[in-house]
Amino acid sequence: MQEKYTPQQRVQLSFLGAALVAPDTCRDAFQRLTPAMFDEGEPRRLFTALYGMIAAGRGIDQVTAAQEVGADGQAFVIYCAETVPSVSHAEEYEQDIIENYRRRRLKELCLDISLHSEDESSDKTCGRLQSELAQQNAICNALADSSAREWADVVEEALGALASPDTNLKTGWNTVDRYGIFQRENVAVIAGRPGGGKTDFALTLAARLSKQYRVFYLTMEETRVRLMYRILSKTCRIDHGRIRDRSLTPEEQQTLRNAGEALKRHHNMVIDEGSGLTVGQIRAKVLRYRPDVCFIDHCGLIAADDPRAKRVDTITAATNMLKQMAKELGIVVVELVQLNRTTDRRGGSTAAALADLKGSGSYEEDANAVLFIESAVDGKQEPLHGDDAYREVDVRVAKNRDGETGRFPMRWQPQYHDWQPDTGRMGYGPMDTGGYGGAYYED
């Protein structure tokens, strides 16, 4: 049913669902919204029904509301109530509805003026524009009043929020969690050159997070099976080349099967593969699986809705929509992004700047945090083998709206696709596992 609705209509349905599930949360919004702000048909009829109940001082009666919607009213009411992404974001749904309505009014007026410009005087056209401007200002003022708060009220609101549980997602690595990167509604960028370990690092984070939270990992470069081979290689400490080439002993094959059974019980993660996906298609997948965190590997492969659009415009639109999705659904979005080749001539990823994110500056603009994987990628390094072989790699937090920036040292074992904090370079104690033990599962 969802596919037949436009993004603007889905926002309307999200608000209506929130009003059905938690009417007190949306009661004030009915003073600012009007039926004209909803599309004709079921959305407008349901809003009108709910508006009448609230205006009359009655509670929300879903049965009566369904009857007033029409023939399919019951199914529509149930759909709205069951698919609302987050009741806590009702105010944001309201703001989106008003913004979409304002844009629609302006487009309709401009179109009408362009079609009838020769049939009316300039004074009449100016009068219509002035009237519309007054309406737009009135809508803006009403919306501003709804979000504005007195200073003392904001102080109380902030202090009251301190008593609520911490909803930030934790990896269990103190060296990473101290930066507060995985706060809900955040967009985090993991950037590096091809072959620098982005996917291994992201998979490690995803697997650790999936022990406590629901994770959606979308790969647009590899297959699901190849990603699982990486995870099994790390879990069993079997060189990935041996898994890839199927040169495994019977004992190793049994070890992999045992690990696979354990992995089924210890993680709450969906791994999806796809190529040529638009942001709208990605959003549909996220709405289906309802994760706490969504990994996109990698964002440079997101397809344009309009194949004629410039690549930079496609990425700019994509990052903006992903940011809106994170805020609307209350999830974390992690974007894997490549660095420009120019960094190779300027000292590699250690010299990378925010402007080096490949494709568009909107990656940095829309992100709450940007992490650079500072690994040397020169094609001359010898392959690593054995448990004691690793590469020292720093992960640099180059941008962080919610905390400090800096570096944390890591050990990367590409032969096992394994990342761990390098406590030897931190100068304290044994491995900082934060009570997790292995990154994927414990026996």
Domains 2-151 and 174-426 share a fold: no
The verdict on domain 2-151 having CATH code 1.10.860.10 is yes
Q: What is the pLDDT of residue 164?
A: 76
- Residue 412, CB-side half-sphere exposure with 13 Å CA sphere: 25
Q: Over the stretch 168-218, which tens digit does the pLDDT of each residue have?
A: 899 999 889 999 999 989 999 999 888 888 999 999 999 999 988 999 999
- Stretches in the chain below the pLDDT threshold 50: 1-2, 428-443
**How are beta strands 187-192 and 369-374 bridged, if at all?**
parallel
pLDDT single digits (tens) 300-328 = 888 887 778 888 888 888 888 898 888 88
Helices 7-21 + 73-83 axis angle, to 10: 90
CATH C-level class of 174-426 = alpha beta
| Domain boundaries along the sequence of the chain | 2-151, 174-426
Give the per-residue SS3 of 196-247: CCHHHHHHHHHHHHCCCCCEEEEECCCCHHHHHHHHHHHHHCCCHHHHHCCC
Q: If you ran DSSP here, which 8-state letter would residue 341 be given?
A: T
pLDDT of residue 143: 63
pLDDT of residue 435: 34
CA distance 315 to 293: 20
Q: How far apart are CA 138 and CA 195, in angstroms?
A: 54
How far is 237 from 324, CA to CA, in rounded Å? 40
Whether the Cβ atoms of residue 346 and residue 200 lie closer than 8 Å to each other: no
Pair type for strands 391-400 and 369-374: antiparallel
* Spatial strand order in the sheet of 391-400: 269-273, 215-219, 293-297, 332-338, 187-192, 369-374, 391-400, 406-413, 418-421
CA 103 to chain centre: 25
Please state whether the peptide bond connecting residue 298 to the residue before it is cis, i.e. omega within 30 degrees of 0. yes
